[in-house]
Structure 1
Amino acid sequence: MTGPHIGIHATAWTATVVLGLSSVGVLGAGTARADDPIDSLSARQIADRSSDALRGAHSMHLSTRSTPADGGTPTTLDLIVDRAGNCTGSLGLGGKQGSVRIVKRGDTVWVKPDAQFWKSRDSRVGSALASILAGRYMKGSASDPRLSNLASACDLAAFQTVVSDNAKTDKGTLTKGRKTTLAGTPVVPLVRTWHGQKVTMYVAATGKPYPLRIDVTGGSPKADATVAFSAFDKPVPTTTPPPDETVGINAQETRAT
């Protein structure tokens, strides 16, 4: 046996986020004074400023929900992350795949899959590991190949780099909507349509022009997703699971064989 490999490709949620940002963020779109009201700018200028604001954030709260093309159970993510790779939150894998709690500080990561997660894996090994954990976190190095895929979800710096690399698209039609409110916050919606896909990004109209939400619908293959951004530059909580709620991943491997 090779141990309790948590083979979750966390890049899936990153792709969802980038899908929206790469479809909307358009750079190099003319000049505007820094003190211009955001809703007085062109769609491209707003997208430019929003992309810059997002790339400049040191930490944030990310929340995603993505419905598969077959209409199955959505996958979800709820994470507070920072540029240093610290994070805390959870990933919902959709369907009968269960969910996983995750805490990462530096190179150490704690993960706690739920009972459904283990049921969806190898029945013998899954049952053994679930019994060993008994509701506790599994602890190991973020570079451990059994945990690295999951730990990669905490890399805000890498996410921001992807956003930057994909922010120069000029595909489809980009339009600016009328200023409105989103959960009581003034925003300006930007809408891009391309090949049947509609991406709507709501940009804060006061303070820094952060993107606050991105909705993606349609396209081929069909992609329905929502990504919400909040708590910019607020630190990731430093609390980590205590020793009595933790089992080392190597100890688990030995006991599960």
Structure 2
Amino acid sequence: MGAAFVCASVFAAAGPALADDASDMSAQELADAAKKELTDAKSLHVKLTERTDERELRTPSSFDLRLDEDGNCTGSLTMGTGGADGGSLDLVKRGDEVWMKPDATFWKAQVPGGAGELAAQLFDGRYVHGTTDDPMLDGLSDVCDLDSFRGELENGSGGSGPDHLTKGDETTVRGTDVVPLTGREHGKDFTLYVASDEPHQLVRATVKGTDESVTMTLTDYGKPVPDETPSADQSVDISKLRDMAPDETPRAGA
């Protein structure tokens, strides 16, 4: 997913920031400060949208998730890149329990043949519930792990940052004063929007390449993930799906 590249330069940065006031800090010092805030966060609200020419039904093109270091999360994913419509689903994970509520398009796109039509009718408006012992639910819930998410960003840096970062003029993103840091890496242009005031958190990151663009927004650093889970009467056990189509169950793309 595009998250592997977004803000990779933050993780490639080295050394602590030497100043507190953004106006007195270099682009690299601001990137270092943003890296520390992102690394130290116990939980985050992440919104990501990716546009690419590569057509793939089982890869998320966007997600809106609240997630934490314990692997808990709640939110939604939209499947399908490059113009493919893979449907969408709501996702809740608490401990090793997982609930997913796909729409009809998801079932028809992800489960081939008549089984998809049947699943859309059988599970209409209800969550499929199980645990991470189930390969499908485990694969979908991989996006819920904050440590894995940060690791993906770090691995996306390839161990080296851009040749340089350029500090732009202060602007505003969603009501927050930010300083844009721009650079180029692996043939892609990126901008990191770092909060002007302490703590210097990464607020938004964008990446633009010849055949893809990614926008990621980060909020609610340290705010606990809501612990409400779907009730039993809103849920259907995953075994019902297995009984209906044991060899044709959906999975999330990498």
Report SS of the residue matched to 2:106. Answer: helix
Stretch moving more, 114-123 or 170-179: 170-179
Distance 1:207 1:42 in 2: 15
If the length of structure 1 is used for normalisation, what is the TM-score? 0.85
Show the counterpart of 2:126: 136
* Cα distance change, pair 88–138 in 1 and its aligned pair in 2 (3 A): same
1:200 aligns with one of 176, 191, 198:
191
Stretch moving more, 155-164 or 119-128: 155-164
> Are the counterparts in 1 of residues 10 and 34 from structure 2 also a CA contact under 8 Å?
no
Quote how far apart the aligned CAs of 1:254 are.
Answer: 1.9
Quote how far apart the aligned CAs of 1:141 are.
Answer: 0.7
Report SS of the residue matched to 2:136. Answer: coil
- Give the number of equivalent residue pairs: 239
- Cα deviation 1:30-60 (Å, max 9, x = unaligned): 7614xx3023211111111101100111111
Structure 2 unaligned regions, length at least 5? 247-254
If the length of structure 2 is used for normalisation, what is the TM-score? 0.86
Show the counterpart of 1:212: 203
1:77 aligns with one of 63, 67, 73:
63
Show the counterpart of 1:247: 236
> Are the counterparts in 1 of residues 12 and 154 from structure 2 also a CA contact under 8 Å?
no
Structure 1 unaligned regions, length at least 5? 1-11
What is the RMSD of the two structures over their aligned residues, measured on CA atoms? 2.3
Distance 2:154 2:23 in 1: 23
> Are the counterparts in 2 of residues 215 and 224 from structure 1 also a CA contact under 8 Å?
yes
> Are the counterparts in 1 of residues 41 and 222 from structure 2 also a CA contact under 8 Å?
yes
- Cα deviation 1:96-129 (Å, max 9, x = unaligned): 2100110000000001111001121312111222
Between the aligned residues of both structures, percent identity stands at 36
Which amino acid counterpart does residue 137 of structure 2 have in structure 1?
Answer: L
> Are the counterparts in 1 of residues 5 and 156 from structure 2 also a CA contact under 8 Å?
no
Report SS of the residue matched to 2:226. Answer: coil
> Are the counterparts in 1 of residues 44 and 218 from structure 2 also a CA contact under 8 Å?
yes
* Cα distance change, pair 58–217 in 1 and its aligned pair in 2 (3 A): same
Quote how far apart the aligned CAs of 1:218 are.
Answer: 1.8
Quote how far apart the aligned CAs of 1:162 are.
Answer: 3.6
Distance 1:128 1:166 in 2: 40
Which amino acid counterpart does residue 144 of structure 1 have in structure 2?
Answer: D
Show the counterpart of 1:17: 3
Distance 1:78 1:195 in 2: 27
Which amino acid counterpart does residue 110 of structure 1 have in structure 2?
Answer: W
Distance 2:31 2:90 in 1: 33
Quote how far apart the aligned CAs of 1:171 are.
Answer: 2.9
- Cα deviation 1:70-113 (Å, max 9, x = unaligned): 69998110001011111010100133210011000000000111
Quote how far apart the aligned CAs of 1:211 are.
Answer: 0.5
Quote how far apart the aligned CAs of 1:161 are.
Answer: 3.1
> Are the counterparts in 2 of residues 83 and 155 from structure 1 also a CA contact under 8 Å?
yes
Show the counterpart of 2:88: 99
> Are the counterparts in 2 of residues 188 and 204 from structure 1 also a CA contact under 8 Å?
yes
Distance 1:197 1:154 in 2: 27
Q: Does 1:117 align with 2:106?
A: yes
Q: Does 1:151 align with 2:141?
A: yes
